Structure 1
Amino acid sequence: MMMMMINSTLVSYFTFGAYVDTGMFKYLWFMIIMCFYVVILCTNVLLIVVICMNRSLHEPMYLFLCSLFVNELYGSSGLFPFLLVQILSDIHTVSAPLCFLQIFCLYTYANVQFYNLAVMSYDRYLAICYPLQYSTRMAFNKVTMLIAVTWLIPLLNIVVTISLSASLQLCGNIIDRLFCDNYSVVKLGCSDTTVNNIYGLMHTFIVLFGLAIIIFYSYMRILRVCFSGSKQTRQKAISTCTPHLASLLNFSFGCFFEIIQGRFDMNGAPIMLRIFLSLYFLTCQPLFSPLMYGLNLTKIRIICKSLVFDSIL
C-alpha cells in the first residue's frame, strides 16, 4: 500500500480506455466531429452577434439567451478540439494539468447551463405572471446581477471541486471515458474520498435541487396563468416558453445519461451506445439550443433571415 501511495504522486498523465482502433475510419469520424463543431460555432456566434448588434433585442430575455449561447461556445470548445486531437492520435493520453482544465471547462459549462435555464424560467414567470410590473422587476441592473451570479457561483463551486480532486493521491491513470471527468478521477483515488463524495452530494442536492424547484415553481405559475387567461396570453406563453422547456428537457436528459454512465458499469452495453450517451449533452445541446431559439422566437428568426438574404444578395 505504501508503494502504491508513493507511485500515486508520479501520475503526470491519464490514458483514455474508451477509444477503439477504427483504422482509416478515424478520418471519417474526424470530419463528422469537425462538421458538428463548425455548425455549433457558426450558429451560436450568429445568434450572439444578432442579439448584440440589434438594439431591439436588448431585452432581458435576449440577454439571458446571449449568456446561454456564450456558454454553449465555451462548453463545446472545452470538448471538440480535444476530441479531434484524440481521434487522430494513436496514443490516447493527456497530461494531468490539461485533464483538470478540461474537467473545469466541462463542469463549469454544465453548471452555468442549469443556472441560466433557471434564470430564464424566472424571467418568463415575471413576464407572463406580472406583465405590468415586468420592466421594474427585471431592470437592467437586476439582469446584470443575475447573469453575473449565473457565471460566478458555478466557477467558485468548480474551483472547490477541482481542488479536492487534484489533492487526491491516485493509484492509477486509466480513465474509461472519451474525455476527462471528475468522477472518473475520484474513482482512481487510493486515499480517502469521503470529502469529495460529501461535497458532490451537497452540491447536487442544494444547488441543482434548488434550481429545479425554481424552474418547477415558475412553470407551475405560468401554466396556471395560461389556463386561466385569454387565448392571446396562452399563445404568448407557448411561443416564448416552448424553446426554453425543450432546451431544459434536452439538457436534463443529457445530464441524466451522463450521470448513469458515470455511476454504473456500462461495459455490457454496445460501444456506440456508450459513446453516444457520453457525448450527448456536450454535442446535442449546443446544436439544439440555437436551432430552437432561432426558429421559434419571431424577432430572432426575422433578423437572421434578413441577414442571410442580405449576404446572398
Structure 2
Amino acid sequence: MDVELNVTYVTLNGYVELQKYRYLYFVIMFLAYIAIMFCNSTVVILIWFHKNLHEPMYIFIAALLINSILYSTALYPKILMDFLSEKQIITYSACLFQAFVYYTVAGSEFSLLSAMAYDRYVSICKPLKYPTIMSKVTVNVCLALAWLIPACEFAVSVLLYYNTKLCDYTLNGIFCNNSGYKHQCVTSIIISIYGLVLLITVLILPLFFILFTYTRILIIVFQGGKEVRRKAAKTCLPHLLVLMNFSCFVTYDVITVRMESDFPKTVRFVVTLLMLLFHPLINPIVYGVKMKEISKHLKRMLCWLKSH
C-alpha cells in the first residue's frame, strides 16, 4: 500500500514478464479493444437505425452488446496504461469503482439473458399472445430492472467494502474484483452474508430461471412440428451459445477469486487476457452471424462500403 496525500493505492500484482513483453501486450490488447468497440457498436447501430430490428429480441441483444462496451471500457484503458507504466497501481476508490462496474455489468448480463430467454419462450410457446405480453412497456421495464437492480445491489457492496479496513493492498490480478475480501484485517460477517445474497439474487436465481425457460421451450419444440423446431433452433441457438460463454466467464472469475493463492500466476494471467479478448467479442460475432436479420443488414453494409 502506497499512501500519498492521504490517497490509498492498491498494487495489481497479476502481470507476468511485463518488462520483457509490455509493448507486445499493449499492441495486442489495444487492437482487441478497437475490435470490441467496433464490432459491438456496429451491431448496436444497425439495430438502432433499422426499424425492422426494433423488436424485443433485437433490443435485448443491443443491450447485451452495450454491456460488452461498458465492461471493456471499465477494464481496458487502465490495463493498457499499466502495460506502459513502471508501477501497476490504482487508487482504492478507483479500484472499488472498477469492481462495481465489472460486477454490475455481469449481473445485468444475467438479467438480460433471463429476459431474452423469456422472450423466446413467449415467442415460441405463446405466439398469439406475444405482441400483448412483450409490449414496449414490458421491454422497457425489463431493461430498466436489468441495469438498476444489479447497480443498486453492488453499490451497497461497494459501501460495505469502503468502510472495511484491509491489511493487504496487493491483488493477484490485473484488475479489481471481489478478491479484496480475502485481504480484510477482520472478516466481516455482514459482507460475507451480503455476498451470499448477491450470489443467489444475481447469479443462481437468473440461471435457474433461464434453465427452466429453455427446458419448457425444448418440451414444446419436441411436441411441435418441423416449423416450430426450425424457428426454435434459429432463434435460441445464439442465446444458448452466449449463455455458455458467459457462464464459463463467471465460473472462471469465481474460481480465481476463491483460489487466488493456489492459482498459478502465469496461467491466471494468460487465461485472464484470453477472457478479456474473447468474451466481449463473442456476442457480436454470434449475433452477427447467427441472427438472420442482423446478418442481412451487415452484408448490405459491407457491400455498400466496398462500392464506395
TM-score computed with the length of structure 2 as normaliser: 0.94
The offset of 1:266, in angstroms, is 4.9
Percent of residue pairs identical:
34
Determine whether 1:297 maps to 2:252: no
Residue-by-residue CA offset, 1:226-254 (whole Å, 9 max, x unaligned): 11111111011001011100000111011
Gaps spanning 5+ residues in structure 1: where?
A: 1-6
**Residues of 1 paired with 2:218 and 2:273: CA distance?**
33
**Residues of 1 paired with 2:189 and 2:306: CA distance?**
59
Determine whether 1:121 maps to 2:117: yes
The offset of 1:43, in angstroms, is 0.4
Determine whether 1:149 maps to 2:145: yes
The residue identity in structure 1 corresponding to 2:279 is Q
Residue-by-residue CA offset, 1:27-78 (whole Å, 9 max, x unaligned): 1111100111111000000001000000000000001111111111000111
Assess, with a 3 A threshold, how the Cα gap between structure 1 residues 265 and 63 changes in structure 2: closer, same or farther: closer
Residue-by-residue CA offset, 1:103-154 (whole Å, 9 max, x unaligned): 1111111111111111100100100000111011101111111111111001
Assess, with a 3 A threshold, how the Cα gap between structure 1 residues 265 and 48 changes in structure 2: closer, same or farther: closer
The offset of 1:166, in angstroms, is 0.7
**Residues of 1 paired with 2:271 and 2:252: CA distance?**
6
Determine whether 1:67 maps to 2:73: no
8 Å Cα contact 1:75-1:105 kept in structure 2: yes
| Structure 1, 21-30 or 272-281: larger mean CA deviation | 272-281
Q: What is the aligned counterpart of 1:240 among 235, 257, 280?
A: 235
**Residues of 1 paired with 2:284 and 2:155: CA distance?**
29
Counterparts of 1:175-214 in structure 2, within 5 Å, are 175-182=171-178, 184-214=179-209
* Equivalent residue number for residue 224 of structure 2: 229
* Equivalent residue number for residue 308 of structure 1: 302
The residue identity in structure 2 corresponding to 1:296 is K
Q: Please provide the CA RMSD for this pair.
A: 1.6
* Equivalent residue number for residue 167 of structure 2: 171
8 Å Cα contact 1:75-1:282 kept in structure 2: no
The residue identity in structure 2 corresponding to 1:206 is T
* Equivalent residue number for residue 248 of structure 2: 253
| Structure 1, 285-294 or 271-280: larger mean CA deviation | 271-280
Determine whether 1:23 maps to 2:44: no
* Equivalent residue number for residue 3 of structure 1: none
Gaps spanning 5+ residues in structure 2: where?
A: none
**Residues of 2 paired with 1:135 and 1:294: CA distance?**
25
How many residue pairs align between the two structures? Answer: 303
TM-score computed with the length of structure 1 as normaliser: 0.93
* Equivalent residue number for residue 269 of structure 2: 275
Assess, with a 3 A threshold, how the Cα gap between structure 1 residues 197 and 11 changes in structure 2: closer, same or farther: farther
The offset of 1:273, in angstroms, is 1.9
**Residues of 1 paired with 2:82 and 2:260: CA distance?**
23
**3-state SS, counterpart of residue 42 of structure 2:** helix
8 Å Cα contact 2:14-2:172 kept in structure 1: yes
* Equivalent residue number for residue 95 of structure 1: 91
